[in-house]
Every structure is written in structure tokens, then in C-alpha cells.
Structure 1
Amino acid sequence: MDLQQRGCGHRFCDSDWCLSRQPRIERTLGDPSEARHLSPRRHHTGAAVLIHCLTLKFKESASDIEIEEMRAALAALPSHFDFPIRTRYGRDLGERATNADYAVVTEFENPDDFDTYLKHPAHLAVPRDHVDTMHSVQFLFDS
């Protein structure tokens, strides 16, 4: 299958929903001149959100106090933003030795909010000194 155009070029336009403010060009299998423009920001119907998942592995030296300081900073994050943000977080249940120690799942209405979040001083101030490794993934969820 040869896709002539895949979205508008925004970094999150790799799915059926285009989250950019620009009109999206529908994927086509044939002549690119037959591509149709779809309405911009279609996801604002409430059909899709950007999910940011982060897993953390703590250093052996991480104390319960340091982990609690991180939890408190995460709990305070939504109050620093003028856009909706939903954050859930918690320690691993310990069911498997290979799991991460902690996870954070945050929902955003659009990529612009996510980009603002990543650069915001409150996000950057979340304590990370006791974190050994972090892995993240972002994806779209159609509700």
C-alpha cells in the first residue's frame, strides 16, 4: 500500500485523527491530486485525546521522602496550567520484577497543550534526581 500523503506533517499526525490546527490531507492510495482536505482539529468533538505515558525506575538510593516529593509535585501540576490536564500516577504493584517502579499517565486535548506542558517550569521542577531511567510514549486515544 503506497500512501501519497500522511496527514499535515505535524508530529502527531500519524493516525486517523489530525491534531494540528492546519487542515489535514486525507491519505490516498492513488493520485495525490485526488486528496481531500479534512476539517482541522476534528478531535475537539471529544473523540480523541493525546495520552502521555511515562514509566520510571528509581535509583537504589531513592528514599520514600524523595518519592513522596515527586508525587506531591505531580499532584500540583494541573493547577499550573490554563488548559485541561488530567494526570494519574502511582507506584508499581510489584507483580513482576521487570516492571518500572512508578508510572505517570497524563491526558491532553491537543499537541499544543502537550508541548506547553513539557516546557513549563512546573513540569521541569518535578524532582528527578532520584530517577535512574525514564521511558515515555505518546499516543492518541479515541473515546
Structure 2
Amino acid sequence: MLVGIAAIALSACAVWRIESTPAGPGVPIISNLRVEPAKARVGESVQVTFDFEDTDADLIEARIFPSEFREWVYRPAFAPKVLNLRAEKHGLAIGQVETRLKWESEGIRIVEVFVVDEKNHTSNGLRARVAIIRR
């Protein structure tokens, strides 16, 4: 019984996961994910920064999934924060993406990042952790 419940829970977590496109020509690559500060207070902003490389220079969006560990339970993010990169990053083969995130409750957050181009190629994913503490 317990094994069945665990299997259902794990499969539900996997449903939202983004599949990266296998590496190859025209597939974007991201690297150097930074979340600063690594420990922030509830309500404070943290800066999320990462580098990208896309030989086709056709990035259209970044998807950021802010999951969490709270009270010893992993809670995946089912809907990403989507950043429109068309205006600022489209036409760039190499660059950097920056955004800010804020949480209203304490816990350990797992930030997972992907980028997508016009051909729907999805980059590799990167993860970073940030601790959100009481005020």
C-alpha cells in the first residue's frame, strides 16, 4: 500500500518536468546559475542570473520553476515563471539572463531554469537552492 502511494506521488512530480532537447546544433545551452543571496528573509528579493549560448540566436523565453521543501515535504512547482526573452535576448548568440524572485513563506526553495528557442528546442536544466528564513 505504502509503495503504491509513493509511486503515485513520484509519478505526479514527474508530470510537470520539462524534457531537454538532446544537445546538438541550434539547441541552447545554459550555465553558471547563481541565486544571490543564498539565504534571504521572507519578503526579500533574490536575484537569479544565468548565462546562455544559442548558435541560432533565437531564444524566446526562460522558464523558472521555484519548487520548495517545507516541513519536510517536497512541493514541486507546477507552473513556471515565464520570462519573455524575445525583446531583449532574441538575436544574441551569447548572453546573460537576470530576474528577481520573492517568497512570502519560509523554507528551502529549489530554483530550476530552462530556456526555449523559436524551434521549441529546450536547453539543459540547471538547479540552485536558496533558504528563505523568518524576518
TM-score between both structures, scaled by the size of structure 2: 0.31
TM-score between both structures, scaled by the size of structure 1: 0.29
Larger radius of gyration: 1
Considering Cα pairs closer than 8 Å and 6+ residues apart, tell me whether 1 or 2 has the greater RCO.
2
More strand by share: 2
